[in-house]
Structure 1
Amino acid sequence: MSTAEPHAEVRASIATPINLILGSLFVLIIYYHFRPKAPTSLPRGPAPIVFRTYTPKTLLEFNGANGAPVFLAVRGRVFDVTPGRNFYGPGGPYENFAGRDASRGLANQSFDEDMLTKDLSGPLDDLADLDADQLDNLLAWEERFSEKYLVVGKLVAEGDPEAPKA
């Protein structure tokens, strides 16, 4: 017997139809396991809100109407209260404050329209006439907003050097 003859028998015994089928299945399984997967698409989050300066007129558009965000100002800080749209947006109990400076109304525990500044081009309400109880009310509201909502800007009067240009 020659030494080449046993190797031929081994090669012939490996190349049987069942081994070819099993090898093909193994290659196919490996391919399906390591093949490139379709990229996972994550849901898009809300657009980022950039801290900016508002005037009473530019803040007014953020009143929640037509799906707009709901912002309100307290002592010069503008809060995004959109997560509380059912309270501050259209139809909510505090809707008068949406897109406005709510400081005086919150200090007086009054949600009436007469608490809002009528002249949007005039100076901001300095709240100098508030008594200690009213000021405490206002500070408590401001703290509540600070804990719950994002500060997205500051409120300045029309004509202020920091006021956005039209």
Structure 2
Amino acid sequence: MDSNMAHDNPQAPPAAEVTTVFTPINLILFSLFLVIAYMRLRPEKPAASTLPQPPPPTVFRIFTPPDLRPFNGTNSMPVYLAIRGKVFDVSSGRNFYGPEGPYANFAGRDASRGLACGSFDEDMLTEDLRGPLDKLEDLGGEEMEALRGWEERFNEKYLVVGKLVPVGSPEAEGDAK
């Protein structure tokens, strides 16, 4: 009778049940959450193909006007120009000196006279690439001062990659060996 009484008594507490958060389904869901969080928050490794390729090393060399001519920005070539015997790599200014640029006629050439005179016309360039270099002897003081200003700006902004010498110069012959 006592056992029946416990069921009949509404005041009796229910049997104590122990609940835990460590059920198998909760452990699976928590593990899945950790995997997803790791996948979202882990640092990404840069792909090798996304890194830009470094430019090829530049070696100081002796140029003659015909040697310099191909460096005009066409055919994936760098853009070089010469000022008073110094050859500058102006590839970073390709939009100015490369093909279709406003100073494109100076690319791969001696730009000294054109820069000194403030003219970008073709007649400022030496036609005979095998002839002597332009010594600029007929330029006036203002023109030479302008040229020095251009040379100074180029020295600050661009890398000197070589020296321009005439065809047949001993320096040109020594560099070819």
**Which of the five TM-score ranges fits, normalised by the shorter chain?**
0.7 to 0.9
Residue of structure 2 in register with 1:61 after alignment: 70
Q: State whether structure 2 residue 176 is matched by structure 1 residue 165.
A: yes
**1:62 is aligned with what amino acid?**
F
Name segments (4+ residues, structure 1) moved above 4 Å: 40-43
Select the residue among 135, 139, 142 that pairs with 1:130.
139
Comparing 74-83 and 120-129, the one that deviates more: 120-129
Q: How does 1:10-49 map to 2 (within 5 A)?
A: 43-49=52-58
Q: State whether structure 2 residue 113 is matched by structure 1 residue 143.
A: no
Residue of structure 2 in register with 1:70 after alignment: 79
Q: Distance in 1 between matches of 2:151 and 2:99?
A: 21
**Change in CA separation of 1:43 and 1:94 when aligned onto 2, cut-off 3 Å:** closer
The secondary structure found in structure 1 opposite 2:102 is: coil
Q: How does 1:81-160 map to 2 (within 5 A)?
A: 81-160=90-169
Alpha-carbon distance, 1:165 to partner: 3.0
Alpha-carbon distance, 1:67 to partner: 1.6
When normalised by structure 2's length, the TM-score is 0.69
Q: How many residues align?
A: 129
Q: Distance in 1 between matches of 2:81 and 2:94?
A: 11
Structure 2: runs of 5 or more not aligned: 1-44
Residue of structure 2 in register with 1:12 after alignment: none
Alpha-carbon distance, 1:44 to partner: 3.2
Structure 1: runs of 5 or more not aligned: 1-37
Q: Distance in 1 between matches of 2:148 and 2:59?
A: 25
CA RMSD of aligned residues (A): 1.8
Deviations 1:92-134 (A, max 9, x none): 0000000000000000000000000011111100111110000
When normalised by structure 1's length, the TM-score is 0.74
The secondary structure found in structure 1 opposite 2:154 is: helix
Alpha-carbon distance, 1:43 to partner: 4.6
Q: Distance in 2 between matches of 1:135 and 1:142?
A: 10
Residue of structure 2 in register with 1:23 after alignment: none
**1:61 is aligned with what amino acid?**
P
% same residue: 65
Q: Distance in 2 between matches of 1:63 and 1:53?
A: 17
